[in-house]
Chain A
Amino acid sequence: PGEAVPPRQGSYNAAIADQTANLAIRGLLLFLIGVFLALVLNLLQVQRNVTLFPPDGFASIFSSAWWVPPCCGTASAVIGLLYPCIDRLLGEPHKFKREWSSVMRCVAVFVGINHASAKVDFANNVQLSLTLAALSIGLWWTFDRSCSGLGLGFAIAFLATLTTQLLVYNGLFQYTSPDFLYVRSWLPCIFFAGVITMGSIGRQLAMYEYKVVQEKTHQD
């Protein structure tokens, strides 16, 4: 009498293995990461244009339109879910450097690219574009190296740039930056790097599900 009832191990794994729940959790996580990164990186860009902050200057964090972070979050959720999905369609899951430390490195490099574009003064915009492009391709080569990743990255970067340009031309959205060319030169590269990064995070998150499912089939 009075012994501990052994806890069942099923519930946790079941939650992971459950497709929809898993999808929702991953989507939510990716969304949050996307919102966070959007806020932080926006801040970096804001810094470039404002020389000095008023002392009670928290308002500047949200100086961009309110819908930008949610949009980024949604986009990152979609991308992060799309990558493992495409991997599954193509066959094997992505195996190259599939570990959290590598993902963290990728995120750090992504933030670094943003940092560089915001902080470093380039001679002209072509140089900025070229440097950022080289960095983005380097990011892909270092952390992804999959053709699907490259293709998806290019496609989404192109689409996103196009959408932004359309928005700007229709006057829905304005660049805060004084020089228009500057923004246009870094936008595609940042989009591309962001797609690679979010894809990497999404794949890593999907690894959990894959592992658990594998284990389950093994047990069965």
Chain B
Amino acid sequence: MSSSCRRPEHKAPPEVFYNEEEAKKYSQNSRIIEIQTQMSERAVELLNLPEDKPCYLLDVGCGSGLSGDYLSEEGHYWVGLDISTAMLDVAMDREVEGDLVLGDMGQGVPFRSGTFDGCISISALQWLCNADKKSHIPPKRLYTFFSSLYSSLQRGARAVFQIYPEDSKQLELITSQAMKAGFTGGMVVDYPNSTKAKKFFLCLFAGESGVLPKGLGSETSSRNVPNQVQFTGQRSRFKNMKGKSVKKSKDWIMEKKERRRRQGKYVSMFICLV
């Protein structure tokens, strides 16, 4: 299977890839529907909204409205943003309850400050990492998106993105722009040991630091494979895709000290800043 099959964003820009034929799958293919719905459920869970309160949410890359339907089921109101008219047409045929907006998230979300109580995005963010036009500069588009999203969120609100990261370089690109825009947070990884079930959720906090939720399947994961990567402040401390810290990084040093402590060896409390 060629890599472009698994990575649709290498094939064409989203408004071209998600044409009528592709859009039809989202209303007819039960497997796609099931997966998208499950990921939406998990994303809403990670949003940690106040219980029993109807909220006003933004769904970025809402597509055919599968994730939006779940938001409506939970009693929330939502606005969906998508770049594909074919996908939005399907959403309209399916009579979704949310209000739909045709737009390119890389150009910024066109809402005034403090509008939303939260934001979810299912399988959409990775599309921003590729330059589909000559004029596209991915880091700039990511920053435009994140900064406008940050301001459109209420203080203390969260934005949860289910993504399929290509590699750690891409993850670094995404998270560095998110932090530049003012967000804190980190990556939650569900079922880190299963290639089939593994899922990545970027969990961002706007304005208030929160406690990063634990990834699912952590009870069965080995000690060396983390299911959380927290980043705060100015520097993103990244673990590579295998879950081990980059050698000689601060994390690597901390982990080594912890290992030696467990082995009963004396460890000095002096920490080198790398």
Q: Do A and B bind each other?
A: no
Point out residues on B near A: beta carbons under 8 Å. none
